Amino acid sequence: MDEIGKFFAENPMAGVIAAGEIGFWVCLAAGLAVRYVLRARRVSAVLLAMVPLVDAGVLVATVLDLSAGGKPGFTHGLAAVYLGFSVVFGPGLVRWADARFAYRFAGGPPPPQRQGRERARYEWREWGKCLLACGIAAVALLAAIFAIGEPARVAPLWGWFPRLGIVSVVWLFAGPVWEELFGERAQVRR
C-alpha cells in the first residue's frame, strides 16, 4: 500500500474531509455551469443548495466517527476548522464564483477590482470573518471535547486552539496589516 493510501486507511476522517472539499467544488462548478452554460436555473439552484449539505455531511461523519469510539485526532480537529471556515467563507465564495461565471458566460459585468481604501476595508472584513470562522471552529472543538469527556482522549483536539490563534495572527499580518503598510493606498502616501 502506498503512503497516501496508508494515511487514509489510518485516518478515515481525512478522506471524508478531502471528499467534502472535492464535493464542495464539484457542486459549485456544476451548479454554475448548469446555470450559465445550460441556462437551467432550477437545476442550478438544487446543485448550489447541495454545497452546504456537503459541509453538513463532513460534520455528521465526524460526529458519527467520534460517537462510535473513534480516537480523536488531528483530522477531527481539522474537520472542526473546515466546518468553521466553510460556514463563514462558503457563501462569499459562491458569490465570488457566480460573479465570474456570469461575466464569462452570461455577459455580466466584470467582477469588481478593489483598490485603495476599499481594498484595505475588504482585507479588514476578511480578517474579521477569519476570526468568526476560528470562533465557530473553537465552539465545535469544545463541543467535541466536552461530549467525549475523557481528558486523555481529547488532547489532540486541545492542540487546535493554538493553531487557530496562529492562523488569526498570520491572516492579520498577511491581509489587512500588509495592505495598510504596502498596498496601493500606502504607496500613494509615500
Instruction: Give the CA angle between residues 148, 154, 155 to the nearest 5°.
Output: 165
Whole-number pLDDT of residue 10: 82
Q: What three-state secondary structure class fits 116?
A: helix
Whether the pLDDT of residue 185 is over 90: the answer is no
pTM assigned to the model: 0.86
Whole-number pLDDT of residue 189: 56
Mean pLDDT of 52-81: 89
Whole-number pLDDT of residue 1: 61
Mean pLDDT of 10-29: 91
Whole-number pLDDT of residue 69: 84
Is residue 164 classed exposed, middle or buried when 0-12, 13-18 and 19+ CB atoms within 10 A define those classes? buried
> Among residues of the chain, what percentage have pLDDT more than 90?
67
